[in-house]
């Protein structure tokens, strides 16, 4: 099918992403509803499941070469310091050490958008890169790192964003701790003060959420190898093309000379959306020593230096009418970016989730002497939703309105910024089925349970983007035996991308999924697809695969028409075969057509179609939590989470459930356990390991009931799928926090809600 | 990781002599390995004890039971005799860390493990490591001691030690001068006595056996460990209770606490008050107010007082 080039516009936060994209020229026929499909929507096991469970799958972490050398990084032990001297003489004498690079022997390479360098003489957080050692083994490199003597001049530091925002705080960058660009952001609509004035009930509360660390299963790692001028990087990344472009730019070599491969990956959660310094350091040394270099970060490094969810210090003020109408919503927030620019805001849920005419927000993203924040599964929305949904429950209680009725009352039917309709918003349906599934009618007055164990119910809603957008491409090839390959420049973070690609091709071409091979995660072999972020992978790439497969089908039909000498309108495609509608014996198999067309392979590149204009594309949902709190010990047991969401078409019920489970567990872990702890006197992280940084275990995992209330969203794409990675985690902490309040009748305004906080809060009440 | 020499003695005497100079004993290795990885292992020699015969047995004796120090925690948790007659010990062993760790970790190692204080384990030159400052005293001390802390506020991490204290166990310690038995209550060293160690084992000494006196069937016991997550966690507070029952009252009883002090903690005055306690909810609640009476919590760990009290209520209620 013919292609055209358009300006593709996609809304994410305040940004209007505006890129040029090639899309199908004519409108694609939407994929039928799931009930009429054979492969899509079903619980199809992962096509790479076997390789994964048998250990045959090669992750970046597993990649090696016979002559490989190993890199380790020396990192600053101080939160803020300048380097005055680096002495590597002892380290260099260690047998097996090949090369050590640092600021004094390496060309300057700009990093963090010009705010720092690959090796900066000023280190602004504990864990910042100081030197990189390459040695024969990882153990030798590690030992050499400890033999490097660095002289630092320690500087006064600041850890907390509220302190860092003050005039007299130590300045982390010359321009101060609130950068001019995006440091302070505001939003308003209507007249907030007027709204408060006209409200019958006004509630104001402060909320604190802590820094959380991504901690994916697979470490951050790279293997780099030069073949003359060609650089290949096996990287554990969420964006092969973005890593390729950054590394080409850092090394000042053409993008065509950099190949990035991510065949299998053990999670990223947003932290692996950008190129790592370690990849560039390894590439620099590898080129010089003419050997491949592997670098794997350890857990300590991962907890210090490769991203986190920023904390938040939110003050929210809400005004409402006696009948439950929201009159005003106001937010002030401080979030820690860490030492370099990152987004640390959290206002979007307050701005967009419920109907309210008068809204004002003021947010500060502040530099602190801690590891830099990165995108983390629904950036801002998780902490923002927790605070918003907590205060709304408080308001509902004051108004003596059931929390669910309060949300329904303030349902926002259209996008309040643009006043455009949503392509779909089945949130009311989600409320209805979710409430039924959790047994919402069993919710009692907060704190009314007798005995030491008190039960509670809570809910929180969710809004996110996740509709995907062009450009995204997929090449579909049909071989002479009728087997099919799909090539797409996406990457599978572990969510099942391989499988959904194969499902779409199998559905359209009506061939068994076993006959389809999927090649992704290789910049040299595949057409472009976007980074896997914003819950945009499935909604961006599946329509491209759909278009590519349709094009192959069209070619087969056209070929059959010529070969059978029957006009195309009289031909029927069924199960990989084409026959004349009136004369079924006059038929050809797809493989026969390809063979007779004397093509070794039939090739088509599909592209994601444009979303229908005039709408806003979002995902919606609600989660309900059923918890028990032991008032003797402060223990919170989450019995059940019901997740009811509007996320477009379900592509694969099994991997959808997997991803929802992962999101809910991660949300539970954030709500009840996770917190990066920094010692305020030294500015050092005390729990940079997986024992002291507590992630929920299987025994902490509740029953999780996933209910999808949506069918395909045809206004979004021909496939009509939306992303689920982020919707799954957004409402969980808010729902749990509200359920805890309902159980004990005492509000805990900070996350994580740990037993010590519960006990102290209960005690204060007495 | 620092370099070390790996020594594998075949018998107790060789092990004792190997351990007399700049050495650390290796049993299950679950703690030694993490100390080594955190660069906290600075001994020149690591002495593997696992080739020594006979130290991994659970033997029923006339006096009670004798458990070799190399007995795996998993074996203690699943031993039918221990489950029946020394329930509290097998319960404590079964809540240590995770299945994998219990499969290699030993009872001796569990009692003699180093503390988990994040300043001690981390890149901080703290009092225990020869520095002149306890970072926890004014720092992030949520997980630290509320009683008996000064000048170092670690908590003893062992679950089994708490159970053994309530059982009035004794420990056999071998050295070149032969073997001696000491009460477990005198095994642990408070930081005000010597901040650099947690127990009185000296170079050249090996903990070989744990001996537990027989309990008559008038006794009942229970153990509880409170952790922030379901598995693979150290106790915020753990409590062991052994009581002798006289109808609806406690005739005599002993409580011990983990996670509250630098040593597994016994409050003798509190235990005296158990005598005569009626086993009903009201009197247990009243009694629980006496728990951690002498505590001096730090900035972030006052909750441990309440938690200890709450756990005592839960534990004693099991006897109702």
- In tens, the pLDDT along B9-24 reads 999 999 999 999 899 9
A560 band by pLDDT with thresholds 50, 70 and 90: very high
Give the distance from residue B284's alpha carbon to the nearest chain A alpha carbon, in angstroms.
Answer: 13
The verdict on a CB contact (< 8 Å) between B135 and A635 is: no
B313 contacts in A (CB within 8 Å)?
452, 632
Residues counted in chain B: 320
Give me the mean pLDDT over the A660-673 stretch. Answer: 98
Percent over 90 (pLDDT), chain A: 95
Give me the mean pLDDT over the B118-137 stretch. Answer: 96
Spell out the CATH class of B1-49. Answer: alpha beta
Q: Does B300 touch chain A (CB under 8 A)?
A: yes
Give dist(CA B283, CA A663) in Å, integer. 45
The verdict on a CB contact (< 8 Å) between A755 and B142 is: no
Give me the mean pLDDT over the A18-46 stretch. Answer: 94
* Nearest neighbour of B230 by CB, restricted to A142, A452, A700: A700
The verdict on a CB contact (< 8 Å) between B229 and A687 is: no
Give the distance from residue B67's alpha carbon to the nearest chain A alpha carbon, in angstroms.
Answer: 29
Give the distance from residue B149's alpha carbon to the nearest chain A alpha carbon, in angstroms.
Answer: 19
Give dist(CA A503, CA A509) in Å, integer. 10
Are A6 and A20 contacting, i.e. CB atoms less than 8 angstroms apart?
A: yes
Give me the mean pLDDT over the B112-123 stretch. Answer: 97
The first and second tokens of residue A104, run together, are 């004094």
The first and second tokens of residue A46, run together, are 């992962």
Residue A531: pLDDT over 80: yes
* Nearest neighbour of A760 by CB, restricted to B139, B231, B302: B302
Are B140 and A686 contacting, i.e. CB atoms less than 8 angstroms apart?
A: yes
The verdict on a CB contact (< 8 Å) between A632 and B313 is: yes
* Nearest neighbour of B306 by CB, restricted to A686, A688, A759: A759
A58 band by pLDDT with thresholds 50, 70 and 90: very high
Which of the residues B4, B96, B118, B136 would you substitute to probe the A interface, choosing the one with the greatest number of A C-beta atoms within 10 Å?
B118
Residue A1: pLDDT over 70: no
Span B219-317: which CATH code?
Answer: 3.30.390.50
Are B97 and B72 contacting, i.e. CB atoms less than 8 angstroms apart?
A: no
A14 band by pLDDT with thresholds 50, 70 and 90: confident
A146 contacts in B (CB within 8 Å)?
39
pLDDT of res. A504: 98
Chain B residue with minimal CA distance to A145? Answer: B1
The verdict on a CB contact (< 8 Å) between B226 and A633 is: yes
A763 contacts in B (CB within 8 Å)?
306
Give the distance from residue B303's alpha carbon to the nearest chain A alpha carbon, in angstroms.
Answer: 5
Any idea which residue has 């919503």 for tokens?
A329
The verdict on a CB contact (< 8 Å) between A700 and B123 is: no
Q: Does B303 touch chain A (CB under 8 A)?
A: yes
Beta bridge partners of A640: A626, A703
Give dist(CA A93, CA A193) in Å, integer. 69
Beta bridge partners of A226: A231
Chain B residue with minimal CA distance to A699? Answer: B230
Give the distance from residue B142's alpha carbon to the nearest chain A alpha carbon, in angstroms.
Answer: 8
Mean pLDDT, rounded, of chain A: 96
- In tens, the pLDDT along B241-296 reads 999 998 899 999 999 999 999 999 999 999 999 999 999 999 999 999 999 999 99
Which residue ranges make up each domain of chain B?
Answer: 1-49, 60-113+168-213, 219-317
Q: Write the DSSP assignment of A671-728 as a string of letters.
A: HHT----EETTTTEES--STTTS----GGG--EEEEEE-----TTT-SS-B---TTTT
Q: Does B40 touch chain A (CB under 8 A)?
A: no
Beta bridge partners of A9: A18
Q: Looking at the predicted complex, does its ipTM rise above 0.85? A: yes
Which of the residues A147, A637, A679, A751 would you substitute to probe the B interface, choosing the one with the greatest number of B C-beta atoms within 10 Å?
A679
Q: Does B59 touch chain A (CB under 8 A)?
A: no
Range 201-230 of B in CB contact (< 8 A) with A: 226, 228-230
Give me the mean pLDDT over the A579-597 stretch. Answer: 93
Long-range own/partner contacts, residues A21-27 (CB < 8 A, 24 or more apart): A21/A469, A21/A470, A21/A471, A21/A607, A21/A608, A21/A610, A22/A470, A22/A471, A22/A473, A22/A607, A23/A470, A23/A471, A23/A607, A23/A608, A23/A609, A23/A610, A24/A547, A24/A606, A24/A607, A24/A609, A25/A1, A26/A1, A26/A2, A27/A609
Residue A571: pLDDT over 70: yes
Q: Does B1 touch chain A (CB under 8 A)?
A: yes
Q: Does B314 touch chain A (CB under 8 A)?
A: yes
Which of the residues B41, B239, B282, B306 would you substitute to probe the A interface, choosing the one with the greatest number of A C-beta atoms within 10 Å?
B306
Any idea which residue has 């009725």 for tokens?
A405
Residue partners of A168: CB distance under 8 A and separation at least 6: none
The verdict on a CB contact (< 8 Å) between A684 and B124 is: yes
Q: Write the DSSP assignment of A633-658 as a string of letters.
A: T--EEEEEEEEEEE-B--S-HHHHHH
Chain B residue with minimal CA distance to A686? Answer: B118
Residue A211: pLDDT over 80: yes
Active site residue A680: no
Are A238 and A532 contacting, i.e. CB atoms less than 8 angstroms apart?
A: yes
Long-range own/partner contacts, residues A564-569 (CB < 8 A, 24 or more apart): A564/A588
Chain B residue with minimal CA distance to A680? Answer: B139
Q: Does B310 touch chain A (CB under 8 A)?
A: yes
pLDDT of res. B149: 93
- In tens, the pLDDT along B193-247 reads 999 999 999 999 999 999 999 988 889 999 999 999 999 999 999 999 999 998 8
* Nearest neighbour of A697 by CB, restricted to B123, B231, B307: B231
pLDDT of res. A9: 83
pLDDT of res. A17: 81
* Nearest neighbour of A687 by CB, restricted to B118, B228, B307: B118
- In tens, the pLDDT along A348-382 reads 999 999 999 999 999 999 999 999 999 999 999 99
Dihedral sign from CA coordinates of A290, A292, A298, A300: positive
CA angle B248, B249, B250 (to 5 degrees): 140
Dihedral sign from CA coordinates of A336, A340, A345, A346: negative
Q: Does B122 touch chain A (CB under 8 A)?
A: yes
Give the distance from residue B46's alpha carbon to the nearest chain A alpha carbon, in angstroms.
Answer: 18
A18 band by pLDDT with thresholds 50, 70 and 90: confident
Are A116 and A337 contacting, i.e. CB atoms less than 8 angstroms apart?
A: no
Query: Picking from A139-153, A308-322, B35-49, which range would have the lowest pLDDT averaged per residue?
Result: B35-49
Are A614 and A633 contacting, i.e. CB atoms less than 8 angstroms apart?
A: no
Per the residue annotation, which of A274, A569, A726, A765 is the catalytic one?
A726
The pairing of strands A122-123 and A81-87 is antiparallel
B139 contacts in A (CB within 8 Å)?
679-681, 686
* Nearest neighbour of A760 by CB, restricted to B116, B303, B311: B303
Chain Cα centroid distance, residue B114 = 10
The first and second tokens of residue A494, run together, are 């572990």
Percent over 70 (pLDDT), chain A: 100
Are A561 and A579 contacting, i.e. CB atoms less than 8 angstroms apart?
A: no
Chain A residue with minimal CA distance to B1? Answer: A143
The first and second tokens of residue B293, run together, are 């009476």
How many interface pairs between A and B have CB atoms less than 8 angstroms apart? 94
* Nearest neighbour of A77 by CB, restricted to B123, B300, B307: B123
Short-list B205, B204, B162, CA closest to B184: B162
Structural domains in chain A, CATH included, are 25-57+468-607 (3.30.365.10), 61-155+215-305 (3.30.365.10), 418-465+611-766 (3.30.365.10)
Give dist(CA A731, CA A663) in Å, integer. 10
The verdict on a CB contact (< 8 Å) between A759 and B310 is: yes
A152 contacts in B (CB within 8 Å)?
none
Residue A10: pLDDT over 90: no
Spell out the CATH class of B60-113+168-213. Answer: alpha beta
Q: In what order do the strands lie in the sheet with A571-574?
A: A571-574, A577-580, A583-589
Chain B residue with minimal CA distance to A147? Answer: B2
> Euclidean distance between the first and final Cα of chain A, in Å?
72
What are the backbone dihedrals phi and psi of residue B229, each rounded to the nearest 5 degrees, phi first?
-130, 170
A765 band by pLDDT with thresholds 50, 70 and 90: low
- How far, CA to CA in Å, does A381 sit from each of A358, A462, A469, A495, A737? 20, 8, 21, 21, 15
């Amino acid at each position: 099918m013919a292609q055209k080039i358009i300006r593709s516009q996609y809304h994410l936060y305040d940004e209007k992403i505006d890129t040029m994209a090639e899309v199908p020229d004519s409108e694609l026929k939407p994929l039928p509803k799931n009930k009429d499909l054979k492969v899509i929507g079903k619980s199809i096991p992962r096509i790479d499941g076997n390789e994964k469970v048998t250990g045959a799958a090669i992750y970046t972490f597993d990649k090696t070469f016979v002559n490989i050398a190993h890199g380790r990084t020396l990192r600053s032990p101080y939160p803020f310091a300048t380097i005055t001297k680096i002495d590597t003489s002892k380290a260099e004498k260690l047998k097996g050490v090949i090369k050590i690079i640092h600021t004094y022997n390496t060309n300057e390479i700009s990093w963090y958008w010009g705010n720092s360098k690959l090796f900066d003489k000023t280190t602004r957080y504990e864990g910042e890169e100081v030197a990189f050692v390459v040695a024969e083994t990882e153990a030798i490199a590690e030992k050499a790192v400890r033999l490097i003597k660095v002289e630092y001049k320690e500087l006064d530091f600041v850890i907390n964003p509220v302190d860092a925002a003050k005039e007299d705080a130590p300045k982390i960058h010359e321009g101060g701790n609130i950068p001019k660009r995006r440091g302070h952001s505001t939003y308003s609509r209507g007249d907030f003060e007027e709204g408060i004035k006209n409200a019958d009930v006004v509630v104001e509360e402060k909320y604190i959420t802590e820094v959380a660390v991504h901690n994916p299963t697979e470490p951050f790692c790279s293997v780099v190898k030069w073949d003359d001028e060609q650089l290949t990087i096996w990287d554990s990344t969420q964006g092969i093309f973005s890593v390729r472009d950054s590394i080409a730019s850092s090394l000042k070599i053409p993008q065509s000379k950099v190949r990035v491969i991510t065949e299998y990956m053990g999670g990223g959660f947003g932290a692996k959306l950008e190129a790592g310094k370690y990849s560039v350091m390894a590439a620099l040394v590898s080129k010089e020593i003419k050997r491949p270099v592997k670098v794997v970060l350890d857990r300590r490094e991962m907890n210090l230096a490769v991203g986190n969810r920023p904390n938040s210090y939110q003050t929210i003020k809400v005004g409402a009418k006696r009948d439950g109408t929201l009159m005003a919503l106001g937010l002030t927030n401080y979030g820690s970016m860490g030492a370099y620019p990152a987004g640390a805001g959290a206002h979007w849920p307050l701005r967009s989730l419920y109907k309210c005419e008068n809204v004002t927000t003021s947010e500060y993203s502040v530099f602190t002497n801690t590891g830099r924040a990165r995108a983390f599964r629904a950036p801002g929305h998780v902490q923002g939703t927790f605070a918003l949904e907590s205060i709304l429950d408080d308001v509902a209680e004051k108004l003596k309105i059931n929390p669910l009725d309060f949300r329904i009352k303030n349902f926002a039917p259209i996008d309040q910024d643009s006043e455009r309709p949503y392509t779909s918003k089945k949130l009311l349906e989600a409320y209805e089925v979710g409430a039924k599934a959790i047994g919402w009618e069993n919710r009692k007055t907060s704190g009314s349970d007798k005995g030491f164990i008190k039960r509670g119910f809570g809910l929180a809603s969710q809004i996110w983007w996740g509709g995907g957008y062009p450009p995204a491409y997929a090449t579909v090839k049909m071989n002479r035996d009728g087997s099919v390959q799909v090539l797409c420049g996406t990457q599978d973070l572990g969510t099942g991308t391989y499988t959904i690609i194969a499902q779409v091709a199998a559905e359209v071409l009506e061939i068994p999924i076993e006959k389809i091979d999927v090649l992704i995660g290789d910049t040299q072999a595949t057409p472009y697809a976007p980074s896997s972020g914003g819950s945009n992978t499935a909604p961006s790439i599946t329509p491209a695969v759909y278009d590519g497969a349709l094009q192959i089908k069209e070619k087969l039909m056209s070929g059959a028409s010529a070969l059978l000498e029957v006009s195309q309108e009289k031909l029927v495609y069924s199960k990989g075969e084409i026959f004349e509608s009136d004369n079924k014996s006059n038929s050809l198999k797809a493989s026969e057509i390809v063979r007779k067309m004397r093509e070794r392979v039939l090739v088509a590149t599909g592209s994601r179609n444009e979303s229908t204009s005039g709408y806003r594309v979002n995902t919606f949902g609600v989660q309900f939590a059923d918890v028990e709190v032991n008032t003797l010990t402060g223990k919170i047991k989450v019995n059940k989470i019901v997740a009811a969401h509007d996320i477009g078409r379900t592509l694969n019920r099994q991997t959808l459930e997997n991803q929802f489970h992962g999101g809910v567990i991660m949300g539970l872990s954030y709500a009840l356990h996770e917190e990066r702890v920094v010692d305020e006197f030294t500015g050092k992280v005390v729990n940079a390991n997986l024992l002291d940084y507590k992630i929920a275990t299987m025994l902490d995992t509740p029953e999780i009931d996933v209910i999808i209330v949506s069918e395909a969203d045809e206004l979004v794409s021909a496939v009509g799928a939306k992303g689920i990675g982020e919707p799954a985690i957004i409402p969980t902490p808010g729902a749990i926090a509200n359920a805890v309040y309902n159980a004990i009748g005492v509000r805990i305004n900070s996350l994580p809600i740990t037993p010590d906080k519960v006990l102290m809060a209960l005690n204060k009440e007495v | 990781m620092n370099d070390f020499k790996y020594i594998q003695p075949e018998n107790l005497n060789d092990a004792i002599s190997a351990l007399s100079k700049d050495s650390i004993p290796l049993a299950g290795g679950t703690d030694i390995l993490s100390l080594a990885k955190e660069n906290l292992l600075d001994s020149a020699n690591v002495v593997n004890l696992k080739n020594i015969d006979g130290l991994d047995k659970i033997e029923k004796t006339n006096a009670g039971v004798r458990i070799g120090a190399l007995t795996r925690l998993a074996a203690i948790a699943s031993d039918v005799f221990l489950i029946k007659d020394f329930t509290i010990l097998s319960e404590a062993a079964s809540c240590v860390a995770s299945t994998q760790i219990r499969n290699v970790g030993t009872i001796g190692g569990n009692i003699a493990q180093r503390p988990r204080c994040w300043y001690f384990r981390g890149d901080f030159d703290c009092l225990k490591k020869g520095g002149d400052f306890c970072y926890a005293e004014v720092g992030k001390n949520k997980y630290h001691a509320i009683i008996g802390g000064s000048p170092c506020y670690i908590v003893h991490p062992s679950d089994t030690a708490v159970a053994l204290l309530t059982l009035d166990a004794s420990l056999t310690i071998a050295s070149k001068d032969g073997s001696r038995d000491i009460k477990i209550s005198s095994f642990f060293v408070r930081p005000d006595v010597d901040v650099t160690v947690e127990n009185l084992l000296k170079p050249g000494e090996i903990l070989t056996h744990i001996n537990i006196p027989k309990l008559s069937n008038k006794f009942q016991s229970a153990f509880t460990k409170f952790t922030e997550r379901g598995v693979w966690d150290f106790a915020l507070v753990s409590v062991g209770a052994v009581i002798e029952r006289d109808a609806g009252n406690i005739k005599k009883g002993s409580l011990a606490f983990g996670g509250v002090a630098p040593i597994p903690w016994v409050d003798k005055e509190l235990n005296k008050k158990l005598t005569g306690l009626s086993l009903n909810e009201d009197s247990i609640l009243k009694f629980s107010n006496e728990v951690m009476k002498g505590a001096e919590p730090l900035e972030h760990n006052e909750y441990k007082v309440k938690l200890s009290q709450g756990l005592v209520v839960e534990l004693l209620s099991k006897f109702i």
